[in-house]
Chains A and B, each alone.
Chain A
Amino acid sequence: MSFLDTFFDGAVMAKYLPDLLGALVTTLWLSAAIVIAGLSLGLGLACLRTLGRWYLTLPIVAFADISRALPPLVVILVFYFGLPGLGIRLSGPMVLFIVLGGVLAAFAEEIFWAGLTSVPKGQWEAGRATGLSFMQTLFDIALPQAIRLGIPSLVNRALAITKMTALGSVIGVKEILSVSSSAQSFSGSATPLTMAALAYLAIFLPVVIFARLLEKRYT
């Protein structure tokens, strides 16, 4: 069998294209939801942490450390197969959204926090000395600088975690990897996997290029 027949079989491609496109859409909206929720939650937690209250800081740091330490696959399996034992039944996409959104939030919180702590103290003093409140100083002066500093790491982390939507294949989410790997078993051809790779590129390559432009602009 030739290389082309193995990886680029036209008949197989035509047959599974509709399924793959559906899966692409699923991966796309799941990724978008995870990125939006994860970054917003991470930003919110980092802002709460600036208040410097131990009863806020402690749970935030515990959440960030634990979520970053656990392999997401383990948590996904626990949520999907364990929680029903407690009467909590979540759909596959919901589990994926909660777990990966949470993990991204943990990383994002740390990145935003690192950015906030590297904003010089004088910036805060200049803001407060001109009559701005703590919140105004945070939102108008400290955060915009912290976000700019964090953009490269945030983009990398968001990419790494949205690619983990492929883990949905173990809990029956019809995303790109699960659809293509079942297509591969049915057809006996590796072509659906090639299609999966192309689908991932179609989603993430533009994001990577956009990220480069963003970094150029802000750093």
Chain B
Amino acid sequence: MLEINQLEKCFGATQVLKSIDLSVKPGELVFVIGPSGSGKSTMLRCCNRLEEPTSGSILLDSEHVTDCHGRALDKMRLKIGMVFQGFHLYPHKSVLANVMLAQVKALKRSKPEAKARAMEMLEHVGLAHKADAMPSELSGGQQQRVAIARALALDPKVMLFDEPTSALDPELVGSVLKVMKQLRQEGMTMLVVSHEMEFAREAADRVVFMDGGVVVEAGTPEDIFGNPKSERLRAFLSRLQPTTAA
């Protein structure tokens, strides 16, 4: 489904990604962990070209994401949903309008059609009753769920999550993870960068450990958390809370 081949990314003279290979199969939830500065988010942002890869290729359903330009790239991005750490809802638009905007402007859906789809997605994340609210009236967890609905409404083939719960108060994290778990059960293909190790153990099909711009280790959650092979992964896990390092 999503294939990353020999991805490299340099910011000036600093190389932040070194020959990353990673693939996500249809319906799979791949979880990326690693210390901050390891290049996880940059890798994710290369997948929809918010960051321009320095070299390497990214394919979605055997179509080159990395060769698209202009309108073709905009079309490609419709197939790749993204959820940000900071939600990035449009503050001047209602919740409903947030979820409708790209449907109407980019997918060229009619307004009634977009509205119906938006309400369906808001229902899905449990926020249909907030359709007419402004984003500023919502809690962080609610805002993030709206952001997920906004991405889902475009019927993407894959969803990218860039630390979706890192900006949330602890008591609000659960509501967002619940929606993500539900998505996984529905068969959505997901690539998730996050520090929620509990969630990784529970819901991930595969866990990828990145450090220093390379994929150090990848495997099932049991392998990664139960039987870490590399020294770097062991060190990383031991620095986490005792609950997750156990």
Contacts and interface: CB of A to CB of B under 8 A. Distances in A.
Interface of A: 120, 122-123, 125-133, 136, 140-141, 144-145, 148
Contacts of A131: 74-75, 77-78, 102, 106-107, 154
Interface of B: 48, 50, 71, 74-75, 77-78, 80, 82, 84, 86, 88-92, 101-102, 105-107, 147, 150-151, 154
Nearest to B150: A130
Contact of A140 (B75, B77, B105, B107): B105
A126 B71 CA distance: 17
Contact of A132 (B84, B86, B91, B105): B105
Contacts of A140: 101, 105
B136 to A, nearest CB: 13
B87 to A, nearest CB: 8
A132 B92 contact: no
Contacts of A120: 86, 88
B107 to A, nearest CB: 7
B74 A132 contact: yes
B92 A128 contact: no
B92 A130 contact: no
Nearest to A137: B105
A182 to B, nearest CB: 49
Contact of B92 (A122, A129, A136, A148): A148
A136 B106 contact: yes
B100 to A, nearest CB: 11
Which 4 residue pairs of A and B lie closest in terms of their CB atoms, listed nearest first?
A130-B102, A131-B106, A126-B88, A131-B78
Contacts of A136: 105-106
A128 B88 contact: no
A125 B78 contact: no
A146 B88 CA distance: 16
Contacts of B88: 120, 122-123, 125-126
Contacts of B90: 123, 126, 141, 145
A131 B147 CA distance: 14
Contacts of A133: 71, 74, 106
A128 B106 CA distance: 10
Given A123-B90, A141-B90, A130 B106 contact: yes
Contact of B151 (A130, A144, A145): A130
Contacts of B105: 132, 136, 140
A141 to B, nearest CB: 6
A120 B147 CA distance: 16
